[in-house]
Amino acid sequence: MPEGDVVWRTARQLDAALSGRALTRSDFRVPRFATTDLSGRAVGEAISRGKHLLTRVEGGLTVHTHLRMDGSWRIRRAGGYPPRDHRVRLVLANEQWQAVGYLLGIIEVLPTASEDRVVGHLGPDLLGPDWDTAEAVRRLGAAPDRPAGEALLDQRNLAGIGNLYKAEVLFLRGISPWRPAGQIHDLAGLVELARQLMDANKERPVQVTTGNPAPGAQTFVYGRAGRPCRRCGTPVRADGYSARANAAQERITFWCPACQAA
């Protein structure tokens, strides 16, 4: 599940491969844009906004993509045909590089001037230049009865957190995922911790919240259902999390029932 740090790094890789060079090929393998051809246009920049990717091309167009559950972008040297893989949804290539998008959850081309239509609803971006702790806290506090775990995942409150960082910051702060957001005394500290963890991980290929990058040691509770809590030894719990989240966001939440008592 790609979260904001992974998307941030993906944007950097796309930007390094594509920016300042003219596209020699664009291959949209989705029906709606099957005839779209961006070849000949230079790429201005590729940026992330929360978990969204915006690749801006000459002529006032933006390619908006989102990794959703399983998506990824991989950069390959140009030369040779792009992979004949049914998972490939989009290829953007120049004379040096091919950027190949696999299983992308969103692909659309829109006017750069209309980007707000797809990212304007987002709260402050944890890894963005506009990060604003006070605004994120204000948005979280606007629905005080909402469970903390659900509120942290809502990208309209703050953009970039996914299931891993949600579980880990709530554990580190000793907060039950079901505690109402309005009953958390230090929301600013909570979101600032999330920002610090994501910032520390954004340049590396593994997500580590424990300080230990060894396999199996990287997280406190995420992905550790039934294993002993690293602090108290109580088995980590995992529950389906579908209450008011929409179906696409249905996820499992991990927590220690002793360290994060309701």
Q: Which residues bind Zn ion (CB under 5 A)?
A: 229, 231-232, 234, 256, 258-259
104 or 229: whose CB is closer to Zn ion? 229
Going from the C-alpha of 97 to that of each of 8, 18, 115, the distances in angstroms are: 19, 7, 26
Catalytic residue among 49, 51, 166, 173: 51
> Least Å distance between CB 165 and Zn ion?
18
Indicate the residue whose CB is closest to Zn ion.
229
Backbone angles phi, psi at 75, to 5 degrees: -105, 130
Rg (CA), the chain: 20
23 or 256: whose CB is closer to Zn ion? 256
> Least Å distance between CB 256 and Zn ion?
3
136 or 170: whose CB is closer to Zn ion? 170
Query: Has 95 been annotated as catalytic?
Result: no
10 or 253: whose CB is closer to Zn ion? 253
205 or 211: whose CB is closer to Zn ion? 211
DSSP 228: B
Catalytic residue among 166, 195, 224, 251: 251
- Exposure string of 131-151, with b = 16+ CB inside 10 Å and e = fewer, is bebeebbebbeebeebbbbbb
Query: Has 251 been annotated as catalytic?
Result: yes
Going from the C-alpha of 197 to that of each of 8, 133, 178, 231, 234, the distances in angstroms are: 13, 15, 22, 19, 24
Q: Report the sign of the C-alpha dihedral through residues 86, 79, 6, 52, in that order.
A: negative
Query: Cβ-count burial of 127 within 10 angstroms (0-12 exposed, 13-18 middle, 19+ buried)?
Result: buried
> Least Å distance between CB 176 and Zn ion?
12
Is 140 in contact with 108 (CB distance < 8 Å)?
no
> Least Å distance between CB 178 and Zn ion?
16
> Least Å distance between CB 230 and Zn ion?
8
Query: Has 51 been annotated as catalytic?
Result: yes
Residue positions annotated with a catalytic role? 2-3, 51, 251
